[in-house]
Amino acid sequence: MNSYKIKPKEAVKLKKFNPDNCGEWEGRKKEAKLKLAELNKRLDQLQEILYAEHKHKVLVILQGMDTSGKDGSIRAVFEGVNPQGVKVVNFKTPTPTELDRDYLWRVHQAVPARGEMVIFNRSHYEDILVVRVHNLVPQKIWEKRYQQICTFEKMLVDEGTVILKFCLYIDKDEQKKRFLERLDDPTKQWKYNPNDINERKLWDAYMAAYETMLSQTSTEYAPWYLVPANRNWYRNLVIASVIVEKLEDLNLNYPKLEIDLETAKKEIEAS
């Protein structure tokens, strides 16, 4: 899965990236789903140890265009994981209170504490995507935010946070297909927003913004993974594989009791 990692300052051209790519799993959808089930179980185990050890912090960031599968990824990848110690944060339009402060203020309040895993469904990167595309602030302001975000994330990493950033990439045709499927499904119609079409008209501007975001904010300490997301099952496999691998690298361990076990047992028996 490291082939999807963006190198620092790498020039990204999304038109050259295949959102249908499935790597070595091409034609092996059933096997991939079985592999995902294994990863789900392992993630559940690792998250429990992460929470018990109370040492590391894990921040998972999901960015992508509408219908790219952020919600679906959260459901599929974290299925069965104990909600204790796991939070999902969805950054909507800033409130008046948030707008009165710097754009990272609300984000900093949501980052994980020790033992926690926090998932950002959209994130501070909206402030160099939506803000840029819609000209909500002058260019001289949003251009500074690439370095500001890198500095902010470096501080989090230095303070013990593992940051995993996933950009879910679908093409424009796939988005159209998913919008139409959403309208045909009564259980998903509530997700449809007429403004989605207005945003879709700005596709090329968004792609340019995403390319700059990936190039300018993928770092050694907090790299972006550009995930092919036209096929949901493979998207989920990529995300789960990276998360489990990075948690394994932390060499997590249950904390040891600082009491004599035999004495504790005798006290329980006598109680």
The structural domains of the chain, with segments of one domain joined by +, span 2-254
Report the candidate in 28, 9, 82 with the shortest Cα–Cα distance to residue 50. Answer: 82
Total-model pTM: 0.93
Give the separation between CA 155 and CA 122, rounded to whole angstroms.
20
Low-confidence ranges of the chain (pLDDT < 50): none
| Residue closest to 112 by CA, chosen among 173, 180, 43, 59 | 59
CATH hierarchy code of domain 2-254: 3.40.50.300
pLDDT for the residue 114: 96
- Give pLDDT tens digits for 211-249: 999 999 999 999 999 999 999 999 999 999 999 999 999
